[in-house]
Amino acid sequence: MKLMFISFIIAVLISSLLILLSTLFSKKTILDREKASPFECGFDPKNSSRIPFSIRFFLIAIVFLIFDIEISILLPLGLISNSIPPISWMITGGLFLLMVTLGLYYEWKESTLEWIT
């Protein structure tokens, strides 16, 4: 137990030392206004380099990720179908699909899925 505690302390010290050294050596000491400004073929940019991000696109991407994760959760149900009773994994998968479908219905009713409002 004592050896494990000493190993933990040494690991924390080495990690802290590496973080400290990397922050000390990575900072630029000279901040130049020209280097910090956006660059567009040697000229000052005509427009802002930051364009507004569409929140609708972000919400649709989040919904896509939810359904992508849903598929990765449902795929193993086919693999375990031989090891547990079929009614058990059918109920589990059905309840999971019901929850995701209710979430999709909620998103639809809140008109989150409409691109143009």
**14 pLDDT higher than 90:** yes
Widest pairwise Cα distance in the chain: 69
What is the mean predicted confidence (pLDDT) over 8-21? 94
**pLDDT tens column, 68-104:** 888 888 888 778 777 888 888 889 888 988 998 898 8
Three-class secondary structure assignment of the chain = CHHHHHHHHHHHHHHHHHHHHHHHHHCCCCCCHHHHCCCECCECCCCCCCCCCCHHHHHHHHHHHHHHHHHHHHHHHHHCCCCCCHHHHHHHHHHHHHHHHHHHHHHHHCCCCCCCC
| pTM for this prediction | 0.46
pLDDT of residue 47: 65
Closest of 90, 60, 63 to residue 77, by C-alpha = 90
Of all residues in the chain, what percent carry a pLDDT higher than 70? 76
Contact at 8 Å (CB) between 100 and 66? yes
Neighbouring CB atoms inside 10 A of 107's CB total: 16
Angle at alpha carbon of residue 71, lines to 65 and 75, rounded to 5°: 155
Q: Kindly state the tokens that stand for 3.
A: 């050896």
Locate the domains of the chain by residue range: 2-27, 55-109
